[in-house]
Each structure stands twice: as C-alpha cells, then as structure tokens.
Structure 1
Amino acid sequence: MQTETAENLAPEERDLLDWIVAEAERRGNVVIQVPRDDKGSGYCFTACVWALHQVPEAVVIGLPEHMAPILLDAYVDRAATGEPFTPGHVYDDFFEGASVTFERVALGHYPEYFGCAFLVYPDGDFPAVQIIVATPDGKWPWSEDAPEGFAEWQPVLTESGRPESWTPGIDGP
C-alpha cells in the first residue's frame, strides 16, 4: 500500500496513518466517522478500500451514526468479492425498507469528504462513490416531493449537486 512518506507527516498524522493501515489490514477497510456539526450532516467514509481491493472508496452522508458504518462495511464486503455497483441502479438489499443508489463523487468534494484518506493516497488518485439512501417512503434528495431539507441533509457530491451519471426518473431513481 503506497502511503504518504513519514518524513512529510506531523507525528499525529503519522499515528493516524499507522492506525488506518493497521485497521485496514485487520478488517479489510477502515470506516472514518465525522459527526454532525453546525456546517452540516455527519458522514462516514472508507479508507484503504481502493488500495486493498481495487474497489472505489465510498461515502455516505446523513445516516444515523450507528447505520452508516454498517452500510459501508456491507458495500466493501460485497464489492471486494466482485459484486458490481452501478451508479443510478437501485439496490433494495442493504437495509430493509430503504433503497440505496450510487453516484460518482466529483474530485472537488474529495478534500472535504475524504480528508484523512489523503494520508493513504497523497496525490488524491483514487475513485470514490457516494451511497445515497432514500427515505423509507422512497424519496431521494432530488425528488420534488422529498421532505423539506432532505437535499441539504444528504447532498449529492457531484459538480451540479444532482445525479450526473444518470437522469433521475429516466434511467435512474
């Protein structure tokens, strides 16, 4: 696994990188949780998945704290064994009663949503997907009848802030 060289890192960054690598080697991935703050929703992302499995790193925004790591671990387990995940396709088998879809993350969102992954990938050269979760009644952040504030709670991490790998209602949810 190619990572940032030790001489370029502050001691706390070196410690964090060592922990990330050790956890990834132990578990097959690392899930980093970032709590909600006054700027937005909490989110979780993976690190080392691309390095270990050649599977895109993933982020999920706005899920309850206990659910996001479960979703990311399930994604990694399934993707690492060869299951493909296509942007715009709806998957109903991650959580009972909640559909998910995938979208590619625009590079401009990497620093904010994959911060410490840059310790593993110093040049930012890794693919990433966002796992987007519908409301229990099937509303997506871009749905006209989505709950008020849902698009802000679970922003879509593309350049436009809307799905770009498919057209909602035509070839995607």
Structure 2
Amino acid sequence: MGSVCRCIICHDYGDRDRLGKFELRTIVHVKQYGWSVILTSPRENRPGWAFTAGLWHTLRSPELVVFGLEPYDMQTIVNNLGDRAAAGHPLVAGQERRDATDRHPVVLRPVHTHWYERLLSEALRFYRHPPLPFLQAVWPDAAGRYPWQAGSDPALGRYQPSLWLSPESHPPGIWTS
C-alpha cells in the first residue's frame, strides 16, 4: 500500500461545500484526536461493530475494526490500539495484542478488501480512494481460543466475521447473507 493519503482532508475532491454531517464530524475528530471511531448498531440479527477512520491519515497505520462486543468495549479496543500506534507500537497483521483491553488479548488479522464496501463504507467515504489497510481485532472465546483454532466456541462466528477471508470463502451465515 502506498503512503499517499487520499482522504477528504488531504485531497480536495471539489465537494467540500457539500460534505455531510458524517464527513464533517469525521474531519473534526481526525484533526482533534488523530482518528474517529464509527459505531455500527446491531441490525438484521447481526451484532454491532466499531471501526476507525483517520489512523491511516494521521499515522500511516492500518485502520481497525472489531465486532460483537458492547459498544464501549469496542470503542475502547480501537482507541487503545490507536493510542499504542501513536506511541510507536505499530499495528501489524498477526500480532497478538494484550494492550487493547484489560479483559482479554486480541489478534490483528488483515481485512480482505472485498468486505470494505459491505461493512466499512463510512471509512471509504472519508478516504474515497481505497484500498487502504484495515486490521480486524479478533477476540477469543472464554477458554482463550480464537475462531480459527481447534476447539474454539462456534458462537464466535456469530459475533465476529472472519474478514481475513474473502466473502466468497467465508462460511455462510449472518455475515454473508
């Protein structure tokens, strides 16, 4: 991925006078805090999720997404990881991070670009020219096993999709319908 930022802060797309509330709020948050957190409410029997817009702009760090927890917990995870990236602890695919939340570790997995429009469209509105890197913060079951590990709780797939797989390769269910 190139280091050029094509977000609506860095590039004039000729529509700055017509930006909506979402874009204006995101610009304010990114300028003030370095990124913005977008919370998506549960819908159509799917849990909610949270993701960032602005980490790439501010830090050239991958954006983050997390699924299926309480909104406060998801916001805490992406903000804590963003804070760590800003402090010089880069976000890298495959890392197990114990600094995201006090409750449990998370593993960062790369998000397949075919999910972006389906689940992260608000970030695309901010950046306009993907692809940009996204990492999914995946949390384990009560026994500490991640969805891809043998013996993990099958319910994990209901709460968090496997975005490192393409939509076509993803197990059928609420995330692919």
Place the TM-score, normalised by the shorter chain, in its bin: 0.7 to 0.9
Q: Which amino acid aligns with 1:2?
A: C
TM-score, with length taken from structure 1 = 0.82
Counterpart code for 2:72: H
Query: Measured at CA, do residues 25 and 7 of structure 1 come closer, stay the same or move farther in structure 2, by a change above 3 Å?
Result: closer
The answer for the alignment partner of 2:150 in structure 1 is 144
Counterpart CA distance in 2 for 1:24 and 1:35 is: 21
Q: 1:81 aligns with which of 83, 87, 103?
A: 87
Q: Cα offset for 1:3?
A: 4.9
Any idea what SS the aligned residue of 1:60 has? strand
User: 8 Å contact 1:139–1:145 — kept in the other structure?
Assistant: yes
Aligned partner of 2:15 in structure 1 is: 7
SS at match of 1:101: strand
Measured in 2, the distance between the counterparts of 1:145 and 1:93 equals 25
- Label 1:51 to 1:86 Cα distance change in 2 as closer, same or farther (>3 A): closer
Go from structure 1 to structure 2 and tell me whether the alpha carbon gap of 1:4 and 1:89 turns closer, same or farther (over 3 Å shift). same
Contact 2:49 2:74 in 1 (8 A): yes
Residue 102 of structure 2 corresponds to 96
CA distance in 2, matches of 1:108, 1:84: 24
CA-atom RMSD, angstroms? 2.2
- Correspondence 1:36 to 2:33: no
1:39: Cα distance to partner?
A: 4.5
Tell whether the 8 Å contact from 1:98 to 1:135 is kept in structure 2 after alignment: no
**Residue number in structure 2 paired with 1:47:** 53
Pairing of 1:117-132 with structure 2 (within 5 A) = 117-132=123-138
SS of residue matched to 1:143: coil
Number of aligned positions between the proteins? 160
Is the CA contact (8 Å cut-off) linking 1:3 and 1:121 kept in structure 2?
no
Q: Which moved more, 1:142-151 or 1:104-113?
A: 142-151
Change (3 A) 1:92 1:124: same
Secondary structure at 1:51 match in 2: helix
Quick one: which of 103, 107, 116 aligns to 1:110?
Answer: 116
**Tell me, which stretches of 5 or more residues in structure 1 are unaligned?**
163-173
TM-score, normalized by length of structure 2?
0.80
CA change 1:4–1:63 in 2 (3 A) is farther
